[in-house]
Structure 1
Amino acid sequence: MKVIKKVLIIEDEEVNAQRLQRLLAKIRPEYEVLGILDSIGKTIAWLSHGEPLDLIFMDIRLADGISFEIFNLTEIKYPVIFTTAYDEYAVKAFKYNSIDYLLKPIEEEELETAVIKFESLLQQSFEQHLLIRNLLDYIDKREYREKFLLPYRDGYKKVDVEDIAFFYSQDGTCVATLFNGESNVIPKTLETLEQQLNPKYFFRANRQYIVHIRAIEKVHNYFNSKIKLDVKQSKEGIIVSRLKATLLKEWLDY
């Protein structure tokens, strides 16, 4: 008799979550999916109160941020197989001492290979803390963007990242507002900047803003469990979503 394995899927795209669940049921019908979660906030809440697991499938880019943040905010006691559409996350970060990673769209053969690896590691009493340690070491050792070279008049000018109070996106254009009030168009998306900026100093507050920690002057409770930030060089302030509010508090208190 095959032993039932309890599985959690963390994936913010319903189509991908359903595909993974369908393929898993095909190759391992004895695996029971206990839940499908689409955000960092929901994952932390589930892990705090949910029943024990055997395996987690975790997408790297979620609705409210990069799933690496989960490892900083709660203890992960279970093996993880990462899934991602962005192989730049996977190759350097997880290949060594990880269970495995799968590139989307996930194929049946690749999924089965990863599951076999998981089952083999179970027999060897695999210790999950090795994965977490390597993840955090990788994040700490990454080199982040320090400056931008931007067109200026008939030439270029250098803008240091440490001089930028916040980035915001408006009508498809990304703009950096400096602490001195100057604004500059940045030829990048916020998603790209989120990966290039040091998360110790920059926080993705919502879909429109990335804010520097030195720019935050006051933090206010806002309706529906949201948070409002008073930010230098911003008259309106910045609203942080309910899901990201907990992450913001942890980030500011670290």
Structure 2
Amino acid sequence: MKVFIAEDELPALENLKMCLNNIDNNIEVAGTAGSIAQSLNWLDNNAVPDLILMDIHLSDGLSFHVLKEDHVNCPVIFTTAYDRYMTEAFEYNCIDYLLKPVDAGRLSVALNKYKNLRQHFINNHAFIIDYLQNSKKSKSRIIVKKGTEFLSLKPDDIVYFFTEHKLVFAVDKDNRKFLCTTSSLADVEDMLDETKFFRANRKYIVNADHITKFKSIEKSKINVEVVLPLNEEIIVSQENAAAFKKWISGA
């Protein structure tokens, strides 16, 4: 098992390393960081670890910022001196929340929880893959992941799909974001009803039922607005503008 540790206090870091070694000497500490910036840099430039031990208070702010940047798609065990962040922690990939000073026995219980969850999904992996491969185009359900859980969503409830950091996400009408089990936006496109979903550009697929308005902009491109707020515009290129207008009109 490869573990990444985000901890800005050297004694706490050394304690975690010692505890991990005492629990299982096959556990490898793949990397460490003491700040948000260092954590993002390490995660950007290294293979995804099996597990992250993450202090909530790092030297340059709350470590939730790392998770909000979508750099983390593996389970996280939070370690902190404060209990007030517990509810927020479980909104991410959190499988346990350990209060400092971290005890080897409590850490061992958390690691066993991780191992049991991993084994569960390994045992069910064949079923999930078979479901994905044998389901017909225009699926009635889309398999997504939230933390360590697999969920099934109705396509009609998804406002848009997008890709970021080589991962594919679905955002539903309640503005909840889920990690898709597919490897590319093209794979998602193949599953969807083409009368309802349109590949706006290389980053976005939009659902016609959740488009509020659209307008032509410079160079005959189209700006598409959906029911949810976005940090960037969804732009249909000049080359695809005619196809979009035909699609949105139901022709």
TM-score class, shorter: 0.3 to 0.5
TM-score, normalization: structure 2?
A: 0.48
